[in-house]
Structure 1
Amino acid sequence: MVLDANQRASLAVVRSLGHHNCNIITADEMPSALAGASRYSKLYQQYPSPKTQPDAFIQWLKTAIKRHDINMLIPITEISSQLIVMNKREFANCIIPFANIKTIMTLANKWNLVKLAQQYDIPVPDTTHYANSGQLKLTDINEYPVVLKPDVSELWLGDQWLDTGVHIAHDRHELELYLEKPYFRNHSFMVQAFIPGSGAGIFTLYDSGEPQVYFSHQRLREKPPSGGVSVLSEARQPSQALIESSEKLLKAANWHGVAMVEYRVTPEGKAYLMEVNTRFWGSLQLAIDAGIDFPWLLYQISTGETLNGELSIREGQRLRWLLGDLDHLYIVMKSSKYSLMQKLGKLLTFIALPDGKTKHEVNRLDDLGPALYELKHYFK
Structure 2
Amino acid sequence: MESLSMIFSVLVLDANQRSALAVTRSLGRSNYVVTTADSTDRALAGVSRYSSQYIQSPNSETNPADYVNWLIKLQSERKFDLVIPVTEITSQLLLMSHQDLHGVKLPFASYEKVMKLAHKGHLVEAANRLGVPAPQSELYESAPSVDPSIQTYPLVLKPCLSKIYTGTHWIATTVRIASSAEELITILKRDTYLQNTSFMLQEFIPGHGAGVFCLFDKGKPLAFFAHHRVREKPPQGGVSVLSRSVEADPLLKDYATRLLSGVNWHGVAMVEFRVSPEGKAYLMEVNTRFWGSLQLAIDSGVDFPALLAQAELTGQAPTIERYRVGQHLRWFLGDVDSLYLYLKSSHSFKNKLARIIQFLTPRPTKCRHEVNRWDDLAPAQYELSIYLKHLLGR
TM-score (norm 2): 0.93
Corresponding residue number in structure 2 for 1:333: 343
| Range that drifts further, 46-55 or 100-109 | 46-55
Is contact 1:65–1:71 with CA below 8 Å preserved after alignment?
A: no
Corresponding residue number in structure 2 for 1:23: 33
2:190 maps to 1:163: no
User: Alignment partner for residue 384 of structure 2, among 356, 375, 380?
Assistant: 375
Q: SS of 1:41's equivalent?
A: coil
In the alignment, residue 317 of structure 2 is paired with which amino acid?
L
2:273 maps to 1:263: yes
| Range that drifts further, 308-317 or 7-16 | 308-317
In the alignment, residue 363 of structure 1 is paired with which amino acid?
N
Q: SS of 1:45's equivalent?
A: strand
In the alignment, residue 16 of structure 2 is paired with which amino acid?
N
Distance 1:206 1:353, change over 3 A: closer
Is contact 2:72–2:102 with CA below 8 Å preserved after alignment?
A: no
In the alignment, residue 331 of structure 1 is paired with which amino acid?
L
Structure 2 unpaired stretches of 5+: 1-10, 390-394
2:108 maps to 1:98: yes
| Range that drifts further, 121-130 or 209-218 | 121-130
2:67 maps to 1:57: yes
Residues 125-145 of structure 1: CA deviation (Å, up to 9, x unaligned): 12111111111112022322x
Is contact 1:292–1:311 with CA below 8 Å preserved after alignment?
A: no
In the alignment, residue 155 of structure 1 is paired with which amino acid?
I
1:159, CA displacement in angstroms?
2.9
Residues 302-330 of structure 1: CA deviation (Å, up to 9, x unaligned): 01242347542100011111111111111
Corresponding residue number in structure 1 for 2:144: 134
Superposed structure 1 runs of 4+ greater than 6 Å apart: none
Corresponding residue number in structure 2 for 1:188: 198
CA distance in 1, matches of 2:212, 2:319: 21
Residues 187-206 of structure 1: matches in 2 within 5 Å? Answer: 187-206=197-216
CA distance in 2, matches of 1:71, 1:246: 29
CA distance in 2, matches of 1:255, 1:353: 38
2:219 maps to 1:209: yes
2:260 maps to 1:250: yes
In the alignment, residue 145 of structure 2 is paired with which amino acid?
Q
Distance 1:353 1:249, change over 3 A: closer
Corresponding residue number in structure 1 for 2:130: 120
Distance 1:370 1:198, change over 3 A: same
CA distance in 2, matches of 1:330, 1:64: 43
1:92, CA displacement in angstroms?
3.1
| Range that drifts further, 9-18 or 132-141 | 132-141
How many residues end up aligned between the 2 structures? 378
In the alignment, residue 26 of structure 1 is paired with which amino acid?
T
Q: SS of 1:367's equivalent?
A: coil
Is contact 1:236–1:313 with CA below 8 Å preserved after alignment?
A: no
In the alignment, residue 16 of structure 1 is paired with which amino acid?
S
CA distance in 2, matches of 1:327, 1:304: 42
Residues 78-126 of structure 1: CA deviation (Å, up to 9, x unaligned): 1111111122223332321110000001100000000111112221112
CA distance in 1, matches of 2:318, 2:265: 21
Q: Percent identity?
A: 48
CA distance in 1, matches of 2:320, 2:239: 31
Q: SS of 2:335's equivalent?
A: helix
CA distance in 1, matches of 2:267, 2:253: 16
TM-score (norm 1): 0.97
Distance 1:308 1:107, change over 3 A: closer
In the alignment, residue 94 of structure 1 is paired with which amino acid?
V
2:291 maps to 1:281: yes
Residues 321-363 of structure 1: CA deviation (Å, up to 9, x unaligned): 1111111111110001x11110000000101154310000011
Q: SS of 2:323's equivalent?
A: coil
CA distance in 1, matches of 2:381, 2:326: 28
| Range that drifts further, 227-236 or 346-355 | 346-355
Corresponding residue number in structure 2 for 1:225: 235
Q: SS of 2:374's equivalent?
A: coil
Corresponding residue number in structure 1 for 2:156: 147
In the alignment, residue 20 of structure 2 is paired with which amino acid?
S
In the alignment, residue 54 of structure 1 is paired with which amino acid?
P
1:197, CA displacement in angstroms?
0.9
CA distance in 1, matches of 2:329, 2:199: 35
1:214, CA displacement in angstroms?
0.8
